[in-house]
Structure 1
Amino acid sequence: MELTHVHLVSLVITIILVIGSGMYSARKVKSAEGYSLAGRSSGVTLIAGSIAGTVVGGGATIGTAQLAFTLGFTAWWFTLGSGIAFILMGLFYARPLRRTGLETIPQYLVLNYGKMAGPLAGAISSIGILFSAVASCLPGIMIIAALFGITEWFAAVILMLLVVAYVFFGGMKGAGVSGLMKLIIIWVTLFAAGGVAFVDLQGMTNFEVIFPSLPWFSLFGKGIWAGLGNLFSLIVGILCTQTYIQAIFSASDSRTAAVGAFTAALVVIPVGLPSIAIAMFMHATHPEVLPILVLPTYLLQYQPAWLGGVGIAGILLSLVGSIGGLALGIGTMVSKDFCYDLLHITANKTVLWVNRMTVLLVIFIASIIAIINLNSQVLGWNYMSMTLRGAGILLPLTLAIFFPGRLTSGWAVSSMVLSTVIAIIGTIILNLSIDPLFVGIGVSAVIIMMGLVSEHKNCSQNKSDFS
């Protein structure tokens, strides 16, 4: 991975234009709400840019190519599943959530289940989101280190500075504008490169020998249950992620929120396909390349220098945007749910700076974890993240949205705690044959059913006593 002068110039210009445009668009952000919700004035384009700009990160680009290098089409689950999740969000969740006028998922849970639910949900979500940020830090550090021949620690510092420039000053407004520009670059460069790789793959004489239909052309190349588990974890995790719901809360109205989610789905679903084509081509022609560097290596070696430089910039920006958007989600929960609601610190400037300082801390911690785990699988961190933040929150959140008042605080909090603990044990400690997400959701469902039955019996008993 060697950069020519043309590569370097096009790379630097692209990064400056994208990040600079985001900072310029958000130059008037002075309030906490303006930072976290863009003043609740976002249109469809800005919402889609914020959502898709965050999810199209390490997993959607580098992680997809990394897995496709060894297994083929099963790597498509990340962008395909993300798109399906955004469609479900637009159909069922966006309108009722936006109509509340709230700012975070924990605030919504507090509204329905009492004060204990807020900090608990905030802590659970923050841990899960942090692991998604790690998934984008991993390839970001590796790519910067390989491109410029520097140490991983120095590369981590550069990555952190880029993320700070991307999101620290402008918040949701800056992330939305930069995310939209980044997506245009990713679409143009990846599909141009992917189209060339696809044509070259078709011209291979021994194509069927190198790529038998199983596992290369099956979404279930790792097994049916593994594929369904990946899909389910993406749907559950995305529907419970503050960063994406935050974009919904920033919409100018509920209809705009729903359309923004649908638009994000249309943008995200196809993004994985060119990465898969490139990875399969590299598997056939350069099997010695490190899987995590497959995509940038192809862009540098098989594309015109100017396009390769822009493409590398697009990948780096996708990683930077994902880290920044996820960190902003954690920062908003810490500033609003812990600082504002729990500690009653209401000064606007204080809340704003707590948000910004939390963003910095998240970026730093995610980078340290990534450096310690440089040889790990990018998508593995993403799927683990989805499991941890979704197992305990999805069912209580869904019940609160569609059937408010049915479940009491005690049962809801018990469901969140026990299902999350079970999911963590299954993910980190035990080597379960079944996806820990299924176990966690199952525990949550059982506790909620017990709570609903108990409440029904209490209501029946009260009516009987009254009679």
Structure 2
Amino acid sequence: MELTLGHIIGLTLTILLVIGSGLYSARTVTSAEGYSLGGRSAGTALVAGSIAGTVIGGGATVGTAQMAYSLGLSAWWFTLGSGIGFIIMGLFYARPLRRTGLETIPQYLVANYGKTAGPLVSVISSLGILLSAVASCLPGIQLIAALFHLGPWPAALLLMLLVAAYVFFGGIKSAGVAGMLKMVIIWLTLLAAGGTAWLALREMPAFALQFPDFPWLSLWGHGFWAGLGNLFSLIVGIMCTQTYIQSIFSAADSRTAAAGAFVAALIVIPVGLPSIAIGMFMHATHPAMLPILVLPGYLLQYQPAWLGGIGLAGILLSLIGSIAGLTLGIGTMLSRDICAELFQVKSSQTLLWINRGIILLVMGLACLIAVAHLQSQVLLWNYLSMALRGGGVFLPLTLAIFAPGRLPGSWALASMAISTLAAILAATVFPVPIDPLFIGLAVSAGIILAGLISKRWQAGHGSAGKAHCRS
């Protein structure tokens, strides 16, 4: 993968424009709340930019092309499922969450289930989000290494520096502004590149033989239950991801929060299709290529140099923005819900720098894990991440939003802890042919049901006892 002067100019100018805009917007950020929520004044475009700028990362671009190279249309589940998740968020979750005036998911659960819920949910959510950051670090390191002929460690260091420039100073405001610009770049370059790939596929004389309808042109080509599991894991994972909820909290009002989620869905759903066309074209023309480099390889070989350079910058920025948004979510939770409570931090400035420090540490850890697993599938990390985030938190969070006060705090805590452990064990120690998310949700539902029955039974016996005493 050799860069020409045209590639280098397009790549450099685009990255400088996007990151420079984010740094410029950071000049007004001086407090911890301004860093994590942008002063709760974000409009629809900024909310949508923050959400889409985070979800469109390694999985939505490089990972989708990588999976399409082997499986075809079923690689669309990541962006399709994410978009459906944001529609559901806009319809049911955005307004009640924004009306609370809170900052993190753990704060919401603390208000419903007690103080112990804060640290527990912070750790559970942070572990899940970390795996999504790894999913964007993997192609980021591979791409930087291939483009600039670096080893994995120097490439990881350069990636960390770019992510730090993207989010370290301005927080969610930088991520939102840069995210909007990044979306325009990705949409235009991928639309042009995917269009030429699709036209080339249509003109292939042996297209039907090379790509039979099943599995290549079926959403269920990877298996019906696998597709359904991927869709459900994305919907559940999105509802439990601090970064997306944080964008909702940053909105000027509840109506803006819902509109931002809907706009993000419109941006995200179609963005996977060009990557799928490119992945299938490269499968037909370059069957021996390293799958993770399919998308950048196509941009270098089959697009004009200036457009290829801008497209490469868009891919890099999608990875950088995703890592930035995810690590910002972890930093906000751990600084607010653990460090502030544990060390009794009251100063907004101190909290701001704790948040920034955690972001740097999380970036380093994500890059370390990625370097140790460079040959793994990007989307596998994303789906596992969604399972860990959603398996323990989704049902208690949903119950707290739509039926507050129904579930006793002790049962909610047991549900979150035990179901998350069950999902982890199902994914690692005792692998089963069922998505770990479903294991976690089943355990969570069982414990919650027992808690609801127990509360009703105690209420019934308490009423009976009082009546007996009166008689």
Shared topology, TM-score over 0.5? yes
- Runs of 4 or more consecutive aligned structure 1 residues displaced over 6 Å after TM superposition: none
Q: What secondary structure sits across from 2:392 in the alignment?
A: coil
Q: Distance in 2 between matches of 1:349 and 1:134?
A: 29
Partner of residue 373, structure 1: 373
Q: Distance in 2 between matches of 1:427 and 1:180?
A: 35
Q: How many residues align?
A: 467
Q: Distance in 1 between matches of 2:337 and 2:417?
A: 18
Q: 5 Å matches for 1:439-458?
A: 439-458=439-458
Partner of residue 300, structure 2: 300
**Amino acid of the structure 2 residue aligned with 1:290:** L
Q: CA RMSD in A?
A: 0.6
Q: Distance in 1 between matches of 2:440 and 2:161?
A: 37
Partner of residue 218, structure 2: 218
Deviation at 1:260, TM superposition (A): 0.4
Is residue 259 of structure 1 aligned with residue 249 of structure 2? no
Is residue 143 of structure 1 aligned with residue 140 of structure 2? no
Deviation at 1:458, TM superposition (A): 1.0
**Amino acid of the structure 2 residue aligned with 1:44:** T
What percentage of aligned pairs have identical amino acids?
Answer: 67
Is residue 323 of structure 1 aligned with residue 327 of structure 2? no
Q: Distance in 1 between matches of 2:254 and 2:123?
A: 27
Q: Distance in 2 between matches of 1:290 and 1:99?
A: 47
Deviations, residues 153-208 of structure 1 (Å, cap 9, x unaligned): 11111100000000000000000000010000000000100000010100000001
Partner of residue 394, structure 1: 394
**Amino acid of the structure 2 residue aligned with 1:314:** G
Q: Distance in 1 between matches of 2:344 and 2:237?
A: 29
Q: Distance in 2 between matches of 1:153 and 1:214?
A: 40
Q: What secondary structure sits across from 2:428 in the alignment?
A: helix
Partner of residue 189, structure 1: 189
Q: What secondary structure sits across from 1:375 in the alignment?
A: coil
**Amino acid of the structure 1 residue aligned with 2:65:** A
Q: Distance in 2 between matches of 1:173 and 1:241?
A: 18
Partner of residue 363, structure 1: 363
Deviations, residues 107-127 of structure 1 (Å, cap 9, x unaligned): 000000001111000000000
Partner of residue 112, structure 1: 112
Deviations, residues 65-110 of structure 1 (Å, cap 9, x unaligned): 0000010011000000000000000011000000000000000000
Q: Which runs of 5+ in 2 are unaligned?
A: none
Q: 5 Å matches for 1:212-251?
A: 212-251=212-251
**Amino acid of the structure 1 residue aligned with 2:251:** A
Deviation at 1:431, TM superposition (A): 2.0
**Amino acid of the structure 2 residue aligned with 1:356:** R
Is residue 269 of structure 1 aligned with residue 269 of structure 2? yes
Partner of residue 162, structure 1: 162
Q: Distance in 1 between matches of 2:370 and 2:281?
A: 28
Partner of residue 178, structure 2: 178
Partner of residue 21, structure 1: 21
Deviation at 1:363, TM superposition (A): 0.5
Is residue 436 of structure 1 aligned with residue 440 of structure 2? no
Deviation at 1:150, TM superposition (A): 1.1
Deviations, residues 259-285 of structure 1 (Å, cap 9, x unaligned): 000000000000000000001011001
Q: Distance in 2 between matches of 1:90 and 1:129?
A: 21
Q: Distance in 1 between matches of 2:96 and 2:429?
A: 37
Partner of residue 335, structure 1: 335
Partner of residue 427, structure 1: 427
Q: What secondary structure sits across from 1:164 in the alignment?
A: helix
- Contact 2:90–2:261 under 8 Å retained in 1: yes
**Amino acid of the structure 2 residue aligned with 1:91:** L
Deviations, residues 342-387 of structure 1 (Å, cap 9, x unaligned): 4321111110000000000010000000000000000000000000
Q: Distance in 2 between matches of 1:442 and 1:327?
A: 29
Partner of residue 198, structure 1: 198
Structure 1 stretch displaced more, 255-264 or 427-436: 427-436
Q: Distance in 2 between matches of 1:343 and 1:94?
A: 31
Q: What secondary structure sits across from 2:178 in the alignment?
A: helix
Q: Distance in 2 between matches of 1:424 and 1:245?
A: 23
**Amino acid of the structure 1 residue aligned with 2:458:** N
Q: What secondary structure sits across from 1:392 in the alignment?
A: helix
Partner of residue 289, structure 2: 289
Q: Distance in 2 between matches of 1:5 and 1:57?
A: 26
Deviation at 1:465, TM superposition (A): 1.9
Partner of residue 125, structure 2: 125
Q: Distance in 1 between matches of 2:363 and 2:439?
A: 30
Q: What secondary structure sits across from 1:341 in the alignment?
A: helix
Q: What secondary structure sits across from 2:30 in the alignment?
A: coil
Q: Distance in 2 between matches of 1:218 and 1:129?
A: 29
Closer/same/farther in 2, CA of residues 390 and 250 from structure 1, 3 Å limit: same
Q: Distance in 1 between matches of 2:200 and 2:47?
A: 37
**Amino acid of the structure 2 residue aligned with 1:104:** T
Partner of residue 7, structure 2: 7
**Amino acid of the structure 2 residue aligned with 1:392:** G
- With normalisation by structure 1, the TM-score equals 0.99
Partner of residue 85, structure 1: 85
- Contact 2:425–2:431 under 8 Å retained in 1: no
